[in-house]
């Protein structure tokens, strides 16, 4: 694109014709959809729908992740002029990636939220698209998994996190970001022996049979060995990938609700996400970005980069499987 043309670009999230192409407008101006993708509520022909879930009513420590989707979208503007680095696929040119906006729910009726989110994701899947979700606290993955299990059956879960989130909770009415994967395993929608949690560094004696590669193990054996182990466990199962930003050490992602030291570096995270190319990723999310505690914006930037890598992971899988 000529420089004079680029200088006149603005609000490409709502002015772009179609879905393909990078965005050369000023990164500090304009409508901040995810990576400047077209904003739309029409999923006709959309391959991947990016959607926000501004919900943080299930947190056990610091709140603020309801502001995460907006912050991640804003931070992603930094990446919008360039093709994703380190991949053999460019989803921004090769797939119809749209920003579907946020899920609608009544903030005064918290008990109705899970069904609203599950229906929202089901609508995306019924339209023939996959979802990339920007959270929000980590509870949101549970209703999303329910929608995916309706389509794919029991799933493998690939979870990057400081916490297992499998603490026992048999109260079906409780909404908690530390117990939802206990319920998902008990529901039979997650296959524990074909699932992996990476970066764990908090104590939970009962892992429910989920494979754990804790943070010290990642540091000891390195990303490449971790990737090999993950791929062996997952096999070709349909995989839902969830990335809690607190998987990263607080030095890289301070703006989160439950930070734990000794975590992954950003370099380790990107090496693993790129190394996982080829897994059967069918859906993804990045959660727990809390802008009120993100004084430099580093956590939102990390969240935007993770979301971009997840988008590429999904796109690589689609390209390989569909030719």
Domain harbouring 301, CATH code: 3.40.800.10
What pLDDT is stored for residue 322 in this prediction?
A: 83
pLDDT at 208 over 70: yes
Contact present, 147 and 118 (Cβ < 8 Å):
yes
Nearest CA to 160 out of 243, 262, 282, 270 is that of: 243
Question: What band does 6 get if pLDDT is binned at 50, 70 and 90?
Answer: low
pLDDT at 193 over 70: yes
What pLDDT is stored for residue 2 in this prediction?
A: 43
Q: How many domains does the chain divide into?
A: 1
Q: Where are the beta strands (DSSP E) in 123-216?
A: 130-135, 156-160, 196-198, 211-213
Contact present, 322 and 280 (Cβ < 8 Å):
no
* Distance in angstroms (rounded) separating the CA atoms of residues 18 and 38: 8
User: pLDDT by residue (tens digit) across 258-314?
Assistant: 999 999 999 999 999 999 999 999 999 999 999 999 999 999 999 999 999 999 999
Q: Which residues contact 126 (CB under 8 A, 6 or more apart)?
A: none
* Distance in angstroms (rounded) separating the CA atoms of residues 143 and 115: 7
What pLDDT is stored for residue 8 in this prediction?
A: 75
First to last CA, the chain: 29
Contact present, 135 and 53 (Cβ < 8 Å):
yes
Average pLDDT, the chain: 96
Q: Where are the alpha helices (DSSP H) in 108-257?
A: 113-126, 141-152, 180-187, 215-221, 223-234
Nearest CA to 94 out of 305, 284, 319 is that of: 319
User: pLDDT by residue (tens digit) across 69-86?
Assistant: 999 999 999 999 999 999
pLDDT at 4 over 60: no
Domain, as residue range, for 224: 3-322
Nearest CA to 137 out of 41, 68, 239, 207 is that of: 68
- Which CA distances in Å does 28 have to 22, 32, 171? 16, 9, 45
Q: Which residues contact 5 (CB under 8 A, 6 or more apart)?
A: 24
Mean pLDDT of 89-118: 97
Mean pLDDT of 58-67: 96
Contact present, 162 and 244 (Cβ < 8 Å):
yes
pLDDT at 51 over 90: yes
């Amino acid at each position: 694109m000529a420089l004079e043309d680029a200088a006149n670009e603005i609000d490409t999230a709502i002015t772009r014709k179609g879905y393909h192409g990078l965005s050369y407008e000023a990164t500090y101006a304009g409508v901040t959809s995810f990576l400047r993708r077209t904003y739309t509520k029409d999923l006709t022909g959309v391959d991947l729908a990016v959607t926000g879930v501004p919900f943080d009513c299930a947190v056990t420590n610091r709140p603020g992740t309801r502001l995460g989707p907006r912050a991640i979208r804003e931070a992603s503007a930094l990446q919008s002029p360039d093709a994703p680095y380190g991949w053999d696929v460019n989803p921004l040119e090769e797939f119809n990636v749209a920003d579907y906006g946020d899920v609608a729910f009544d903030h005064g009726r918290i008990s109705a939220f899970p069904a609203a989110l599950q229906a929202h994701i089901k609508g995306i899947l019924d339209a023939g698209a996959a979802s990339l979700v920007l959270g929000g606290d980590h509870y949101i993955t549970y209703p999303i998994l329910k929608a995916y299990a309706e389509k794919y059956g029991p799933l493998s879960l690939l979870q990057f996190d400081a916490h297992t989130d499998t603490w026992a909770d048999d109260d079906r009415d409780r909404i908690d970001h530390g117990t939802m994967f206990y319920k998902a395993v008990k529901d039979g929608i997650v296959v524990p022996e074909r699932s992996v949690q990476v970066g764990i560094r908090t104590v939970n004696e009962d892992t429910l049979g989920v494979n754990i590669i804790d943070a010290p193990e990642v540091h000891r054996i390195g990303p490449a060995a971790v990737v090999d182990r993950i791929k062996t466990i997952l096999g070709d199962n349909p995989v839902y990938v969830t990335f809690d930003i607190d998987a990263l050490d607080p030095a890289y992602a301070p703006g989160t609700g439950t930070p734990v030291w000794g975590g992954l570096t950003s370099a380790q995270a990107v090496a693993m996400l790129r190394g996982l190319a080829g897994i059967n990723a069918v859906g993804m999310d990045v959660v727990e970005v809390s802008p009120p505690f993100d004084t430099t914006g580093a956590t939102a930037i990390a969240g935007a980069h993770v979301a971009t890598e997840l988008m590429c992971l999904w796109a690589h899988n689609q390209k390989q499987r569909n030719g």
